[in-house]
């Protein structure tokens, strides 16, 4: 798997982006098995830190992410998954997990 750099917990960041719209859909962690399964199946797999298990995105909801291309960042510690989403990416039912804006004034 090229020269991927997993952190001390054996994880790296996976960013799912809609290939057609460019919208960032979600961010999740991936271990070596999740990366391998993603490459083998063409469907996004991640590692759940809370459940300590692999999961196929959309396994229960049917809202899968079909991989079209995977890009590795310059440090080798994160992956950009260019996908075709088959339904909403967020567990809330939103198309993207990024639907709440943090106002600049909130930083004060």
Domain residue spans in the chain? 12-92
Q: For residue range 44-62, what is the model confidence (pLDDT) as tens digits?
A: 999 999 999 999 999 999 9
Is the pLDDT assigned to residue 1 strictly greater than 60? no
Q: For residue range 18-50, what is the model confidence (pLDDT) as tens digits?
A: 999 999 999 999 999 999 999 999 999 999 999
What is the homologous superfamily of the domain 12-92 according to CATH?
Phosphoribosyl-AMP cyclohydrolase (3.10.20.810)
Q: What are the residues whose beta carbons fall under 8 Å from the beta carbon of 24, sequence distance 6 or more?
A: 15, 16, 17, 18, 96, 98
Per the prediction, the chain carries an average pLDDT of 94
From residue 35, give the alpha-carbon distance in Å to each of 19, 41, 71: 19, 10, 12
């Amino acid at each position: 798997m090229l020269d991927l750099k997993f952190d001390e917990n054996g994880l790296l960041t996976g960013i799912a982006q809609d290939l057609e719209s460019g919208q960032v859909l979600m961010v999740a962690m991936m271990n070596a098995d999740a990366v391998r399964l993603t490459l083998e199946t063409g469907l996004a797999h991640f590692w759940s830190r809370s459940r300590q298990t692999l999961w196929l995105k959309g396994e229960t909801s049917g809202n899968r992410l079909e991989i079209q291309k995977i890009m590795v960042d310059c440090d080798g510690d994160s992956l950009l998954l260019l996908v075709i989403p088959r339904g909403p990416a967020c567990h809330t039912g939103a198309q993207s997990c990024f639907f709440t804006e943090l106002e600049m004034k909130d930083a004060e």
